[in-house]
Amino acid sequence: MESRQILDVGCGDGLFFPDLSRFGEVHGVEADDRIVDPSGDYFHRIHVGLFDDTYQPDQQFNWIVMLDVLEHIPDAVEALKKAYHLLQPGGRMLLTVPAFNLLWTTHDDYNHHVTRYTKKLMIKQANQTRFIVEKQHYLFHWTFPAKLLVRLKEMLTNRVPTPASLPAKIPNAILRSLCCFEQCTLTQLRPPFGSSLVVSLRKGSDG
């Protein structure tokens, strides 16, 4: 059986390449040359540059992965059109994006986000690019009220955007366990809120 061809857009230095390699041959695109190590194991598979017409691979892909990337791109529809063109007929794309502009904080400003998404906006953009939305649901439900509180605090204090800091090892482990537990329980009920949205798109077989 021919190996799947997988493209990781916004791949950084190939962080997810080992996991994705279990499913096929992985290539990547990364716009920020500061985070791609020229001596790294995956450098030869990473196109350092924008995900636009300057990226012209000599193949199409079975899968495209774009994790927390689309919200950074000023013309998201053009990026989706590019992805559609690069997929083989019947190919699939997996997206994650931050959800709800109601949760906009200085973290979004610092990271140069253009917007946060809702299911309605995702469907609208997909329709403009001929993608079929197979599935989509919200993630990280417990952080929804937490982000609302952060936004309220920032509105009262006029905080200047700064980089986010990682929690200490033990709190980080606790938060990770909480997210895993939530995904096995509450997420299965598909509540209409969360701080992130995960989307599965498909290119038609006649595309």
- The residue range of the domain holding 155 is 60-202
Q: 70: domain CATH number?
A: 3.40.50.150
Mean pLDDT by 10 residues, the chain (207 residues): 88 96 97 95 96 94 98 97 97 98 94 97 96 97 95 85 77 90 95 97 88
- C-alpha span between 36 and 47 (Å, rounded): 10
Look at residue 94 and tell me if it is in a domain. yes
- Domains: count for the chain: 1
Look at residue 36 and tell me if it is in a domain. no
The answer to whether the predicted template modeling score (pTM) of the entire model surpasses 0.85 is yes
95, 195 Cβ separation under 8 angstroms: no
Look at residue 153 and tell me if it is in a domain. yes
Look at residue 12 and tell me if it is in a domain. no
Look at residue 29 and tell me if it is in a domain. no
- Cα-based distances in Å from 107 to 70, 113, 146, 154, 179: 16, 9, 13, 11, 20
Look at residue 24 and tell me if it is in a domain. no
Look at residue 14 and tell me if it is in a domain. no
